[in-house]
């Protein structure tokens, strides 16, 4: 099982990734593709299943949010360092669509030096690569206490502090 950081704790991933052609188990926690979720929503929505949805970073979140609202987990992918679209997807999920479930960062580009900014954008869990030290990654998530734009944390905005100092 893969190691992840969820809500500030190192954990073993309790979700199993199901391919589109894998047989649907009778119970458990699973992550399925957005395509499979859209095609098999009724069978996947059984009470015995806890289903997360993997949304490609090429998808406009606003077009699928109604399909995702009740899901406990949305996984967003970072396939490469040059592709940061999942940052925007997470911000939209939290800010515009008020999604309150787990947002998981996945992919090869989920690395230590990106974790704090991922957290600021609304991610609550991070699937770590095998070469990442979970303790070092946890240290990277120390709270950010100043921010230039509103974030999901309790950081003070620099502009607010400047106005207060000028008053």
Structural domains of the chain, ranges and CATH numbers in brackets = 3-166 (3.20.20)
> Which of 8 and 143 is assigned the larger pLDDT?
8
pLDDT of residue 84 exceeding 60, the answer is: yes
CA-to-CA separations, 76 to 81, 83, 110, 154, in angstroms, rounded: 14, 12, 11, 23
Percent of the chain with pLDDT over 70: 88
134-165 pLDDT, tens per residue?
Answer: 999 998 887 666 666 665 555 566 667 777 78
Concatenate the DSSP letters of all residues of the chain into one string: --EEEETTEEEE---EE--TTSPPPSSEEEEEEHHHHHHSHHHHT-TTEEEEEEE-TTS-HHHHHHHHTT-SEEEEE--STT--HHHHHHHIIIIIT---SEEEEESTT--GGGHHHHHHTT--EEE--TTS-HHHHHHHTPPP-EESS--SS-PEEHHHHHHHHH-
In 3D space, the residue among 149, 79, 90, 147 whose CA is nearest the CA of residue 118 turns out to be: 90
Structure tokens that stand for 1 in this block: 């099982």
């Amino acid at each position: 099982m893969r190691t992840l950081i969820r809500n500030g704790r190192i954990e073993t991933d309790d979700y199993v990734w199901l391919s589109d052609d894998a047989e649907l188990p009778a119970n458990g926690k699973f992550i399925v593709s957005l395509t499979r979720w859209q095609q098999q929503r009724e069978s996947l929505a059984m009470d015995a299943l806890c289903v997360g949805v993997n949304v490609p970073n090429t998808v406009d979140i606003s077009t699928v949010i109604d399909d995702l609202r009740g899901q406990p987990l949305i996984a967003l992918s970072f396939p490469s360092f040059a592709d940061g679209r999942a940052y925007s997807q997470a911000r939209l999920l939290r800010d515009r669509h008020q999604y309150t479930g787990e947002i998981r960062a996945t992919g090869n580009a989920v690395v230590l030096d990106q974790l704090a900014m991922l957290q600021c954008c609304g991610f609550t869990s991070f699937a770590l690569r095998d070469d990442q030290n979970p303790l070092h990654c946890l240290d990277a998530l120390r709270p950010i206490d100043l921010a230039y734009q509103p974030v999901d944390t309790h950081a003070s905005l620099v502009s607010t502090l400047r106005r207060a100092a000028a008053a």
